[in-house]
Structure 1
Amino acid sequence: MNRITKLFQEQKRNILSVYFCAGYPQLDSTVNVIKALEKVGIKIIEIGIPFSDPMADGPVIQQASTVALKNGMTLSHLFSQLKDIRKEVHIPLIFMGYLNPIIQYGFENFCRSSKEVGVDGIILPDLPFKDYQNKFQPIVEKYDLKMIMLITPETSEERIRLIDQNTNGFIYMVSSAAITGAQKDFNEEKLAYFHRINAMNLKNPRMIGFGISNKQTYQSAMDNAAGAIIGSKFIALLEKENGNAEEAAKCLLDELRH
């Protein structure tokens, strides 16, 4: 069974997913970061594939991506880093990236390699859902990967239901139609969006991401979905802790809960 499916069957609420950028802060940081996040109790890890034009990402993740590329991170190198990861790490791993480098690598090659190293899902913010259905869905399903699609406050109910019917991992609820980055709290408009999606009774669990960086936004996400996704905040702490992933992860949990 796919690890994403298993997790959401076993745990319905309070799931914390953390994003980091592969190859940041050092080229060989990737495996250490993954192991540190699992050690402190993170339930899902999103491994960012660095890209030169990450349109959905704010300045913190853009900078991490730039550093990772300068460090020499490539998809081929990332797969070589992850080849033994499943000997030690057991939680779901998801690749988050952009279509261009994956098409250059070869989409089916990418899915095959992902399956071989034990990756469970893919998030591609710039992949149109219709293109996914028409071109890529059979390949993704062939390798038992979950394609995680994003929705925003502007996504129509029709589109949300279409995504819900044609995917079976979880739905990534973007908290606002903006780039990633910290927010102090979620206003009434965002809360109304969360409530509206909850009232749709979708079959897929939802995870809320973008802007979660403190106790208020974290708790709001936990109250209104299966869990929260955090990226920029962790990367900022990783820099603050001079690349010590375990300390950064502990600081993150402390700041979210106190």
Structure 2
Amino acid sequence: MSRIRILFQKKNKKVLNVYCTAGFPQLNSTIEVMQALEKNGADIIELGMPYSDPLADGPVIQASSMVAIQNGMTVKELFRQLKGFREKISVPVVLMGYMNSALQYGFEKFCEDASALGVDGLILPDLPIHEFDSYYGAIIKKNNLDFIFLVTPETSEDRIRELDKRSSGFIYAVSSSSTTGSDKDMSHVDAYLKKLSGYKLNNPVLVGFGIKDKESFEKASRHTNGAIIGSAYIKALQQSNDVAKATKEFLEPVLN
């Protein structure tokens, strides 16, 4: 059974997934940031593979990706840094990025190496469902990686159910059709998430985009299994030169 599934069996409410960018703020910050997140209460770490042309990322995460790329972060370098990380990190780790990065590395090798290192799952927002069905899904499954599909308020119920069938780990519910980090009207989001919970999906649901503090985390978790914080945490890292202190000061008010 995957680490993600075990997590949701033990805890099915207020699961906190925190996004961080590999190679940010410094090239060698990756493991330090991951350890700080686990120590301070993150249930899942969503590790972003920096990419020069991200589709869904807002300005804060885009800027962190550009810094990471300038620092020298690549998929090859990330995998080098992740070697032996399971001796230090026990929470589920999901790689988030774009198909181009995985294809340049070699998709099959990418999945094999990620799995061998102890990565639990993948979020690749630009992998179309028909390509997942015809080719990539089998490779992901063969390597025992969970695959997380995204749904939005505009996604039809039929399509959500199709994506739910193919997903494992959890469903990533995008709070609105915009980029990460932008402010959201949580009353509209609440109605959408309530509707989603009524579908009784097979997978747990985590909501992301616009979750930034205790209030938005609590509201997002009302009808789902938890939420994803990204841009707000990246901002906290930007404003400090002490990863451990910044992470503690950011997560404590969210979780307590």
Report the TM-score range of the alignment, normalised by the length of the smaller protein: over 0.9
Residue 252 of structure 1 aligns with which residue?
250
Name 1:217's counterpart in structure 2.
Answer: 216
Cα distance in structure 1, aligned partners of 2:230 and 2:244: 15
Per-residue deviation at 1:257? 5.0
Preserved CA contact (<8 Å) 1:37 1:245: no
Tell me, yes or no, if the aligned pair for 2:176 and 2:184 is still in contact at 8 Å: no
1:56-135 superposed matches below 5 A: 56-135=56-135
Q: CA deviation at 1:255?
A: 3.9
Q: Which residue of 2 aligns with 1:169?
A: 169
Q: Is the 8 A contact 1:182 1:233 kept in 2?
A: no
Give, in angstroms, the shift of residue 107 of structure 1. Answer: 0.6
Counterpart in the other structure of 1:201:
200
The number of residues matched between the two structures is 256
Alpha-carbon distance in structure 2 between the residues aligned to 1:167 and 1:106: 22
- 1:170-227 CA-partner distances (Å, limit 9, x unpaired): 000000000000426513x221111110111111100000000122211111212111
Identical pairs, percent: 47
Indicate yes or no: 2:226 matched with 1:227.
yes
What TM-score comes out, normalization by structure 1 length? 0.96
CA contact (8 A) 1:208 1:229 kept: yes
Contact 1:58–1:181 (CA under 8 A) maintained in structure 2 = yes
How far the C-alpha of 1:168 sits from its partner, in A, is: 2.0
How far apart are the structure 1 equivalents of 2:253 and 2:107? 38
Describe the SS at the equivalent of 1:228.
strand
Structure-1 residue corresponding to 2:55? 55
Structure 1 contact 184–216 (Cα < 8 Å) conserved: no
Q: Which 10-residue stretch deviates more, 175-184 or 197-206?
A: 175-184
Contact 1:184 1:217 in 2 (8 A): no
Q: Cα distance, 1:256 vs. partner?
A: 2.4
SS of match in other structure, 1:6: helix
Residue 45 (structure 1) aligns with: 45
Over 3 Å counting, the alpha-carbon distance change for 1:246 and 1:123 in structure 2 is same
Answer yes or no: is 1:10 the counterpart of 2:10: yes
Classify the secondary structure of the residue corresponding to 1:165.
helix
**1:134 Cα offset (Å):** 1.3
Matched position secondary structure for 2:222: helix
Partner of 2:35: 35
SS in 1 for 2:62: helix
Give me the TM-score of the superposition, normalised by structure 2.
0.97
SS of residue in 2 equivalent to 1:224: coil
Letter of the 2:80 partner, please give it: S
Unaligned runs of 5+ in 2: none
Q: 1:250 to 1:44 in 2, by over 3 A?
A: same
